[in-house]
Amino acid sequence: ETGVTQSPTHLIKTRGQQVTLRCSSQSGHNTVSWYQQALGQGPQFIFQYYREEENGRGNFPPRFSGLQFPNYSSELNVNALELDDSALYLCASSLDPVTANYGYTFGSGTRLTVV
């Protein structure tokens, strides 16, 4: 069974640019969640996708958007990058978004630096 894979592992962007981060969920998992983790803090929930639709969102502005594809892989897009967007972005997949009987499997993350 494959785990969650994220790409790229590291990325440097300039303020104002746009970025796309990618995530392949664990085999058999149909739900993907994205988290932002600033240095020294716990991960903060950005949004969750289930069957290609967003079904939950945290306190992030609309310039953070996402997609989920029929194979349950996902993208996180961030427009108009700001310096404070520098963080580790984590993708997590799970089997069931509703009853939550299953935990999350996390990827290794993408380290985004905005300069």
Partner 1 sequence: KQEVTQIPAALSVPEGENLVLNCSFTDSAIYNLQWFRQDPGKGLTSLLLIQSSQREQTSGRLNASLDKSSGRSTLYIAASQPGDSATYLCAVRDTGGFKTIFGAGTRLFVKA
DSSP letter assigned to residue 95: S
| Part in contact with partner 1 (CB under 8 A); list of ranges 12-20, 65-73, 74-82, 97-105 | 97-105
Contact with partner 1 (CB under 8 A) among 27, 41, 77, 79: 41
Q: How far is the C-alpha of 58 from the C-alpha of 26, rounded, in Å?
A: 23
3-state secondary structure 29-86: CCEEEEEEECCCCCCEEEEEEECCEEEEECCCCCCEEEEECCCCCEEEEECCCCHHHC
Give min distance, CB of 11 to partner 1, in A.
Answer: 14
Of 18, 55, 77, 113, which lies in the binding site for partner 1, with binding defined by CB under 8 A?
Answer: 55
Q: How many CB atoms lie within 10 A of CB 98?
A: 8
CB of 27 to partner 1, least distance (A): 16
Q: Please select the residue that binds partner 1; options are 11, 13, 20, 44, rule is CB under 8 A.
A: 44
Do 26 and 106 touch, CB atoms closer than 8 A? no
What residues numbered 7-36 form the site for partner 1, per CB under 8 A? 33, 35
For 40, the token pair is 């020294």
* # of chain residues touching partner 1 (CB under 8 A): 32
Q: List residues near partner 1 by CB under 8 A.
A: 4, 6, 33, 35, 40-45, 48, 50, 55-56, 58, 88, 90, 92, 97-109, 111
